[in-house]
Structure 1
Amino acid sequence: MSILATRPTTRPARPGEAQPGRSLALTAALAGAGAAVIGLVLCMSVALTGWFLADAGAHGDTTDALGVGAVAWLAGHGSHLVLSGTPIGMTPLALTMALLLIAFRTGRWAARTPARTSSQSLADLPVETSAVGAAVATFTCAYLVVAVVTGVLAAGSGASPSLGRAVLGAVLVAGLAGGAGLAAGSGVLLRAWDEVPAWAADVVTGALTGVLWLLAAGAALVGVSLLFSFNEAATVMSGLHLSVGDALSLTAVMALFAPNAALFGVSYLAGPGFAFGTGTTVSPTAVSLGVVPAFPVLAALPGEGPTPGWLAGLLAVPVLAAAVGIGRTLRRRPPLPHDLAALRGAGSGFVAGVLVTVLVALAGGPLGTGRMAHIGAPVAEVLVFTTGLMSLGGLVGAVAQNWWRRRRGEAVAEPAPRAPRTVAPLDDGDEPTVEVLR
């Protein structure tokens, strides 16, 4: 007797049939750990390069440079540091922006990887919102594990990072940026945005556009100030007697805080200004600084004393930013009744003011003890000024845009009528029910 055994064969997937792949949650976990490791390795690489450029490795060893990179990575998540007894609490927002971008891109990659077929596009593979929520949780947990391990290991170096703030920052970076990437890559974000009411979409879009215009104005103000103070900055740099490597390292550090300077410029344009040291004020109406550290970028600070009266006109910049933001947003839709346009404009400006206040609050922090223990803008005053000015700008911009388009003869978009209500017929013994027809 002979027994014939056949080897099981695997057939290729038919067109339109899903290929086997990793689950979204597992891929998100790998992406979360990968996002944290990518940012950490980049920071360590830059620190190692700066160490070699500074003294060619004559002082310290490689592990010291890697420790500096790990501490910088934690600082990008908002961790406060204590260096030789000196507290450092200002977050390098340029590094934070890079970490947010890495988390977003890896999250989007994770959402586009599982269960993809050769004949289906991403839009043909709908993902449930619950699955995306679970993926965001695993992404955040994996990212958080790397952050905790890094914080524990970095605590043994010369710096003492604040682990609690690093954990909170890691959760926010992974949850917000990584979650947005997962939602965007899976199509959930686009589907959710399509279901947002038109008025809410206009308010959010106009607010974000206005914030971007105001940030650009703040950055331009700082850039122009640095340009006019270039000689003073060069004098300060030459007075430090730095080597080429040290100068490059100092320039890189200043670049990491460039968004912080731009946000200080935003606070200046809004009116309250900011403080660079305890008891100091830098605003369009008055400047009181005292002695400032020998740092090249600080040459852009204005001189002490009363300021020209025309600087009060800078308060119009937030108004214009909000007006342009909502004006460009409403241009994509048919004209509205003036009262509805005014409501959307004022709401957009108010939301923009709140967002600007949050960003300005993140820009400050201590850079030492004594006078340098207070650097930043008065958050409460910034909130009042930005919400007031940008609400006014949004209202004026929306009404002006609406009026101009209606004057040109464009048809007004009337609100959709409400669906009528009908009462279903009652059968004997049935409870009365009301059915709403949509």
Structure 2
Amino acid sequence: MKILIVDDEQNIRLFFEEYLKNSHEVDFAKDGRSALEKLIANIYDLIFLDIRMPNVSGIEVLENISSHKSNQDELPYVVMLTAIEDVGTVVRTIKLGAYDYLVKPINISRLELILSQVQKIIEKNEEIKRLRSEIEGKYTFIGESEKSKEVLNLIDIASKSDVNVLIVGESGVGKEVVARAIHTKSNRRNSRFVPIDCGAIPESIIESELFGYEKGSFTGASSSKRGKIELADKGTLFLDEVSNIPMNVQTKLLRVIQTKEFSRIGSTETINVDARIISATNVNLKEMVEIGKFRDDLYYRLNVFPIYVPPLRERKEDIPLLINHFLSTLQLKYNKRVTFSDGAIKKLMNYTFPGNVRELENIILRIFAISHDGDEIGEEILDINEIRDLPYFPKIYKLEELEGIYVDYVIKKCNGNLKKASEMLGISRRTIYNYLKYKNTHPKNTTTF
């Protein structure tokens, strides 16, 4: 840790120097004014700050530090030093933002405890920052084309306000990525992002999934359950394929937006909720309003800030960037390097990708799964139709699981001819026989497609 010692007593400064110099980076200030000058030029993790000093007191220095609350992540932890354990003064400094205090002469055990606690907090905060950065990277909209730059600009604008957003685009373009990007950049980023795919849930249970229910409110409700709306309180509710919400549920959703309150199914208790709503659709909601399948008042409430995400075929300049992004993610996860030749990338750029970014990601994942470390995928071996025929991976598998998937795939391509399959795989028939025998006796430990 980088530590600043602020005390007008030389013997105190010498004590800290001797005690900390071998394990931490230590800096010193002999009074409050010098401390303020050092704080302008340096960033410290921890400050030991004497309360009583000439000219500028420790409390004045603490007040100056606390005034920069907008940069909370960069503020140092402050431990006050005092010769007299004055409870009133100590309480005042804690209220001003001090982490703790030490009474002079310094108790070594208590000093060690404080150093250990602050070190653990800093390490935990660093891990949180790392995870947040990883999440933001995972849900960053990737693109450098003009159309993608427009989407990125709208994400930035939307993240600075709290208005409802409607994201429109074909399936697979990355609508949820856009929604998560807005959330992770917004003031709600420390609260939940709660997605619900309205197109994947039967109409009969959408209401209970959104609003939750009380025990006994209907057959099968053996216990109470919080709905997605309640879970999203202080965070963001993402309504994917919002056009699939039934009309009766649309009415209840509209009331939530208008009043910021709702009740669980089977309950008369009113629950207040503060959730931002981001919706997404791959259909023209305005046309659904015109034919009476979507409420016009709900449409206008959801469509406060519209974002259109163009299909991949309209932003082909993004394809090389997306390929590198997907490959980098896989390489870090599996410690295996696979590259694409310029010819292979050009061939992919000439493909229309009806499934958009999701289809490109699946193609990269399938190629990566059957490639070896150091392989370069060339144009001559990149057959889109063949790749699309490869097994689909609905999740990330371990490499040993992928071996089984690929063996099954080759056997299927060879119409069950194990001799031909073994030649294609470059292994003996005995190895295939042993694999099939193991698969039949350990079905839970093998994966097929």
TM-score normalised by the chain length of structure 1: 0.20
Structure with the higher fraction of residues in strand conformation: 2
Structure having greater relative contact order (Cα 8 Å, sep ≥ 6): 1
Larger Rg: 2
Q: TM-score, normalised by structure 2?
A: 0.19
